[in-house]
Structure 1
Amino acid sequence: MNTTEFKILKLSELERPLLEKFHKTYKSQMKMPADTHLWALYKGKDIIGSVCITPTETLAHWLNALYIAPDFRNQGLASMLLNKVLSNYIHDVWLFCLPELIPFYDKNGFLRCEFGLPESLEDKLTRYQLTKPLISMLHAHSL
């Protein structure tokens, strides 16, 4: 894979419709709250991946969405996108994932962590776990 054919950009609020269109095209159910930091992975002029990171009430952030278009999966692009985005955050980044995704996030510097969640994320995780077996993971800046 030639990584020079890809670029990763943080989108402005005015560019939000581009990411909404991308998610709609793939029938992705990703949510992008108003205060979310939006990141896009481009191949040429086309968005082929995205990351959404939402600030919490603490200095930490919540990675609430990572999506790669189906035709571009299993090529290392999700890791490339995730690591580039994470390099822009100096505080902890939390996420919730299904158990089968733990190896992917382990490989990208996240650790399973069931304590220390910001209160707003603790509440979300408790609600989400009513319907899905989600695991909380942490990418700690000091790690």
Structure 2
Amino acid sequence: LYESFRVAFAMLLVPIFAVAGVFFGLWVTGTEFNITSRMGMTMIVGIVTEIAIFYYSEFRSLPASDDRLILAGINRMRAISMRAFAAILALLPLALGIGHGSAMQQPLAIAIISGLIFSLPLVLIALPALLAIFGPKATPR
């Protein structure tokens, strides 16, 4: 999948920026950074990396043209946003503290939700910009 170090570098920047969203979400909600929120942060890195790889594989499958970054985003936007919204809705009761024992898992849910909210525009806007800078040029294969 990665033919160059530059593409791998661009793909690794997105999860790093998504971690900033985790810290922002924990700060806004006043949740402490503990082992549970660290697990959520680790999960966000994996989820965002997987989404970025799916985006890049769609980008590579399109014929070489100047607008294939945009087309890859259009083709994958529905799947990316549905995945993020489904995870957010599933974790919302846990983040709100609804139910028995939810206080222990609340930092995990807040970390994942804030990371997903922050990473959605990152994958759909910042990743194409990074691939335009660092990625392969529009040369025919």
| TM-score normalised according to structure 1 size | 0.25
Q: Which has the higher strand share?
A: 1
Q: Which has the higher contact order (CA 8 A, sep 6+)?
A: 2
Q: Which has the higher helix share?
A: 2
Structure with larger Rg = 2
